[in-house]
């Protein structure tokens, strides 16, 4: 068996970055950028009024003037106006260009306007360019605003629009097949016999994939028949870029997956990792570099391995540098944990943020890797390293979440 770190490194090493495509900004999502975003002009592109009020020349203020005749109004989206009388003012709206001849904005709240004369209330402080967002303060033309390889969220999409990129280069999302195996499994709408259970793993994996933007996913099922598995896997491998198998990779008499994958010339990179849950994890690649993940069939093992290995690999395939993004967070144990096996331990936890802003993780008790109902009480899992056996209250460890955020 190999370590968790070795497994992750091998998966990333053998996961190629996907081909590029372009996306319309109207179809925005959480994508990985494959071109830098460059400013096509400075921002703000003009001295921008930051408060509704009046624009004046501070020279008049310095001369003791406190009442200013209103000579006009400058609204946002309107060509810049000029104050011709330095002892007057122009009403200005937020987002408008600062009129020529003015260099300060006084808020409406700090004035009284009567008979087209704006009088500034006592004790107001005035200075050059007060309440003005200066031209080019945020960035200059030609600046790189968002580097290649960035995961795009709402702030990045805002920049995309501001620099006039209607179409953007990203990595093409893969076609993914989630394949369950086992004669004991029936679909959700079927009534199981006494010795059968409904297929739940497939839908847990599907939900996690879709919640991370991987929407081109099909569900398949294969019974424990070697010939059927061989035929089914061949078809699935031909039609998809990534295959995620659930079950059939352990040491059982009917666990045919590893042998069938070998018969289909899928190169096994590793089988079995020093971890709990999910020790039988299998990973390989096809001759044309498609990724195949063999997840254990136990529900807790399957969903844990998906979040610990598969999702990071999928993001890597889109161009996200995993070494810079994992782990995404740490959390502090709220109680001592003793784990004496020489394995990395993925401990289900419920997280809360303390009043001091610390993410605290309380262990969630379960009845083993088949007890998926216990995960309802959890937020995610902590990764406890195999080198230790006692994990003290107050120590911080890598946190993986079932959903995108706390």
Q: Are residues 333 and 318 in the same domain?
A: no
Identify whether 379 is part of a domain: yes
Choose one of 108, 133, 158: the last residue of a domain.
133
Contact by Cβ (8 Å): 393, 349: no
Q: Are residues 212 and 299 in the same domain?
A: yes
Query: Is residue 367 predicted with pLDDT exceeding 80?
Result: no
- How many other CB atoms are found less than 10 A from the CB of residue 258? 19
Identify whether 128 is part of a domain: yes
Choose one of 115, 149, 171: the last residue of a domain.
171
- How many other CB atoms are found less than 10 A from the CB of residue 303? 25
- pLDDT value, residue 369: 65
- pLDDT value, residue 406: 61
How much is the average pLDDT of 396-401? 95
Task: Give me the CATH number covering residue 165.
Answer: 3.90.105
Identify whether 82 is part of a domain: yes
Identify whether 406 is part of a domain: no
Take residue 288 and report the two structure tokens written for it. Answer: 């044309």
Choose one of 103, 133, 163: the last residue of a domain.
133
Query: Is residue 133 predicted with pLDDT exceeding 80?
Result: yes
Confidence category of residue 405, pLDDT binned at 50, 70, 90? low
* Residue pLDDT, tens place only, 168-210: 999 999 999 999 887 767 787 778 778 777 777 888 999 999 9
Q: Are residues 296 and 369 in the same domain?
A: no
Identify whether 102 is part of a domain: yes
Please state the domain count of the chain: 4
Residue range(s) defining the domain that contains residue 69: 48-133
Q: Are residues 272 and 259 in the same domain?
A: yes
Q: Are residues 180 and 305 in the same domain?
A: yes
Identify whether 240 is part of a domain: yes
Q: Are residues 384 and 255 in the same domain?
A: no
> What whole-number percentage of the chain has pLDDT above 90?
79
Lowest mean pLDDT of 27-31, 279-283, 370-374, name the range.
Answer: 370-374
Beta strands 344-353 and 275-276, pairing class: parallel
Q: Are residues 206 and 182 in the same domain?
A: yes
Q: Are residues 258 and 342 in the same domain?
A: no
Task: Give me the CATH number covering residue 339.
Answer: 2.40.340.10
* Residue pLDDT, tens place only, 4-60: 999 999 999 999 999 999 999 999 888 899 999 999 999 999 999 999 999 999 999
Q: Are residues 275 and 149 in the same domain?
A: no
Q: Are residues 167 and 178 in the same domain?
A: no
- How many other CB atoms are found less than 10 A from the CB of residue 404? 10
Task: Give me the CATH number covering residue 104.
Answer: 2.170.190.11
Report residue 115: phi and psi, to 5°. 55, 40
Identify whether 374 is part of a domain: yes
Q: Are residues 59 and 110 in the same domain?
A: yes
Q: Are residues 200 and 306 in the same domain?
A: yes
How much is the average pLDDT of 313-340? 85
- pLDDT value, residue 224: 82
Identify whether 153 is part of a domain: yes
How much is the average pLDDT of 312-327? 80
* Residue pLDDT, tens place only, 183-192: 767 787 778 7
Task: Give me the CATH number covering residue 311.
Answer: 3.40.980.10
Burial of residue 344 (CB within 10 Å: 0-12, 13-18, 19+) is buried
Q: State the DSSP string of 360-395.
A: EEEE---SSTT-GGGGGG-SEEEEE-TT-SEE-TT-
- How many other CB atoms are found less than 10 A from the CB of residue 210? 12
Beta strands 117-120 and 111-114, pairing class: antiparallel
Q: Hey, CA dihedral for 224, 228, 234, 239, is it positive or negative?
A: negative
């Amino acid at each position: 068996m190999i370590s968790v770190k070795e497994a992750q490194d091998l998966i990333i090493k053998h996961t190629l970055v996907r081909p590029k495509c372009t996306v319309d900004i109207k179809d925005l999502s959480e994508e990985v950028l494959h071109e830098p975003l460059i400013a096509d002009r400075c921002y703000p592109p003009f001295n921008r009024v930051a408060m509704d009020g009046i624009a004046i020349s501070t020279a008049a203020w310095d001369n003791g003037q406190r009442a200013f005749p209103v000579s006009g109004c400058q609204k946002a989206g309107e060509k810049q106006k000029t104050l011709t009388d330095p002892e007057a003012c122009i009403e200005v709206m937020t987002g408008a260009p600062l009129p020529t001849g003015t260099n300060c904005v006084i808020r409406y709240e700090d004035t009284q306007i009567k008979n087209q004369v704006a009088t500034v209330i006592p004790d107001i402080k005035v200075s050059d360019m007060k309440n003005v967002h200066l031209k080019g303060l945020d960035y200059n033309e030609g600046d790189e605003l968002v580097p290649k390889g960035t995961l795009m969220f709402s702030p990045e999409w805002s920049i995309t629009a501001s620099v006039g990129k209607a179409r953007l280069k990203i990595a093409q999302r893969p076609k993914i097949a989630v394949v369950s195996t086992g004669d004991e499994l029936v679909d959700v709408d079927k009534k199981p016999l006494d010795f059968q259970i409904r297929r739940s793993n497939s839908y847990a994996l599907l939900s996690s994939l879709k919640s991370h933007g991987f929407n081109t996913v099909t569900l398949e099922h294969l019974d424990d028949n070697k010939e059927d598995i061989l035929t089914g896997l061949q078809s699935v491998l031909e039609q998809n870029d990534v295959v995620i198998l659930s079950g059939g990779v352990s040491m059982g008499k009917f666990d045919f997956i590893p042998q069938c994958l070998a018969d289909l010339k899928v190169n096994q990179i590793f089988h079995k990792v020093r971890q709990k849950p999910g020790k039988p994890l299998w990973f390989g690649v096809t001759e044309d570099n498609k990724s195949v993940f063999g997840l254990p069939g136990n529900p807790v093992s399957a969903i844990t391995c998906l979040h610990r290995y598969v999702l990071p690999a999928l993001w890597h395939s889109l161009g996200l540098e995993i070494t810079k993004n994992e782990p995404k967070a740490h959390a502090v144990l709220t109680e001592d944990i003793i784990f004496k096996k020489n394995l990395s331990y993925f401990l289900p936890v419920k997280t809360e943020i303390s009043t001091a802003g610390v993410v605290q993780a309380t262990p969630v008790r379960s009845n083993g890797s088949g007890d998926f109902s216990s995960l309802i009480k959890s937020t995610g899992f902590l990764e406890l390293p195999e080198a230790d056996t006692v994990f003290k209250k107050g120590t911080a460890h890598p946190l993986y979440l079932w959903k995108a955020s706390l």
